[in-house]
Amino acid sequence: MKFPYLKFPSEPSPAFPDRKSCSRPVIPVALIHGSNSLRVQSLIDSGADWCIFHSEIAKELGIDLKAGKQQHFFGVGGSKQFAYFHTIQMEVGGWKFPCYCAFAEDLKTPYGLLGQVGFFDKFQVRLDFEKEEIELKPKF
């Protein structure tokens, strides 16, 4: 299955004076817990150890955040944060599978992160920056 990169507006800067936009490998995923589901724009992030979403998403899915298994991690800013792991269902391009993922109160990103555990272990991922194209092939 293929997805286009999403284009986001961007301000010019001294480092990139001609920049008007930037493209990122962001795809829509559905997160499902019981009878609750939510579509979330999520960044394919090979540097993320696992899939992680903001705690507000857990709340909307009816998940008791702190009932999950706790794990600390360090975000881009370097400060210690805590995430809580739960098994939910994830759907990507019509493929539904169980996903052991984290939810964190202090996550500082506008979208979910699709990382090594829960995403890269489920899909062969090809990112083509020049064509602005994402290709995913399920491993299951």
Taking the CA atoms of 130, 131, 133 and 139 in sequence, report the sign of the dihedral they define. Answer: negative
CA angle 123, 52, 13 (to 5 degrees): 95
Taken in order of first residue, the domains within the chain and their CATH numbers are 2-9+22-129 (2.40.70.10)
- Both tokens of 45, joined, read 């992030």
Return the number of other C-beta atoms located less than 10 Å from residue 58's C-beta. Answer: 26
Span 13-69, pLDDT tens digits: 999 999 999 999 999 999 999 999 999 999 999 999 999 999 999 999 999 999 999
Residue by residue, DSSP assigns 52-90 as EEEHHHHHHTT--GGGSEEEEEE-TT--EEEEEEEEEEE
> Which residue, among 37, 75, 81, 43, has the nearest Cα to 57 in the 3D structure?
37
Give tens-digit pLDDT for 79-133. 888 999 999 999 999 999 999 999 999 888 889 999 999 999 999 999 999 999 9
